[in-house]
Amino acid sequence: MPQIESDSTVQTVITTFETSPGACQDLLDALRQAYAEFISQQPGFVAAGLHVNDAQTRIANYSQWRRREDFMDMLRSDEMRARNRRFAELCHRFEPVMYDVAAVF
């Protein structure tokens, strides 16, 4: 379960996907499958959440990793590169961005 704490040592990654209502469920299914079969099994994975907006045009993925390098190793793997190509077919664009928690309320 993700925990948001300002003094946390985990690496936070937020990825936003711009999609269409017709492709949203397919993309969500592909993301769920990626987490179930691969991402959640990778070294350093802590937790993740998937969020969908009401219009089904955006998916936000919040994930936490023990270290920045763990996330980068997963992202660079052949398995994830192939899955990212599939995600790209189901959306207009997506972008993973690493963040540090600045404040919690």
Q: What is the CATH number of the domain that holds 50?
A: 3.30.70.100
Question: What pTM, to 2 d.p., does this model score?
Answer: 0.92
Spatial neighbors of 67 by CB under 8 A, at least 6 apart, are 11, 44
Helix (H, G, I), strand (E, B) or coil at 61: strand
- In-domain check, residue 55: yes
The pLDDT of residue 74 is 98
- In-domain check, residue 87: yes
Identify the domain containing residue 70 by its residue range.
Answer: 11-99
The pLDDT of residue 3 is 76
The pLDDT of residue 4 is 79
The pLDDT of residue 12 is 95
User: What's the number of domains the chain is made of?
Assistant: 1
Q: What string of pLDDT tens digits covers the 105 residues of the chain?
A: 777 777 788 999 999 999 999 999 999 999 999 999 999 999 999 999 999 999 999 999 999 999 999 999 999 999 999 999 999 999 999 999 999 988 888
| Rounded CA separation 52/58 (Å) | 6
